[in-house]
Structure 1
């Protein structure tokens, strides 16, 4: 018997993940989310996360939380309950044969993953984002819609690259950085920084 499939997180990102699973022919039973349990989201029931995980230790869980740190917490909680974490890839994504995608990552429609790139555990490559050849995306990082990482760039763990932002080839974005939407990164950004603008400059830490 096939174990049940759920989406952890019933917000906007969770709805997108549920639709991708449906596009892949996967039946989603419900959402699990403590904040909105007892409601319905896109015609699916929402149950308390702890209760569902405890009663379904063989369940399969897709991560539907956009916040990087909260997404990791959800993954750990599901794994501790014995559940498997799903990797979610939309059929309309363009993925090179040599691209490597680690457990729990989400690849949205129109995303492009070029040769020898690596997508870390739990990372999000959002709608239309481009990951060029040899790029490294850290665990639980997020490339927002229409953002791009040029060849050989490195995006640190938990970093957030805003919508439409570009990271030039070979540049490094440190762990837990936030790059503002529409920015152009032309130099390395140290970890724990917020940078934005054209060219992107550090404005806070």
Structure 2
């Protein structure tokens, strides 16, 4: 479990404050380290030369386009700023409907029931549908991963009716509640980790 893993650690980190600092550190590291560095390293290690050439062509085109306008420092700053903005959007949108609901109480379920237990939807609106790229319909996205996302709104009432018919949970949250739940989840898990450190 997370607590047992935390108890093996020997140093202290302020996990109980992660809900305050995560969004300053986590998302930028996600895109600048994970998406950029790790993806390029993976292509090199796995000898995926075609993918590596396409990735390199992006960087070449980006910097050839923006260095004449902003100079080298300005182009680098633009690149980092866009990636940081993208990373914040990505983290908030992907996490708002992936807050686990039943950690530590694993049950034997069928695949569909697991999808419903692991995700929730965020109330639709024209803005939220657009802003989230229709990923506010996360239940439908998990049940039908290859379906074009603009069709999730049409399928959602059918999925909801089927869940009601079979007594399955179909959770829909308001947008702001979903965002606050991310912070609550970080605070809760941070406190669990802190307890693991303090009571070794």
Same fold (TM over 0.5): no
TM-score by length of 2: 0.25
Structure with bigger RCO (C-alpha 8 Å, 6+ apart) = 2
Structure with higher helix content:
2
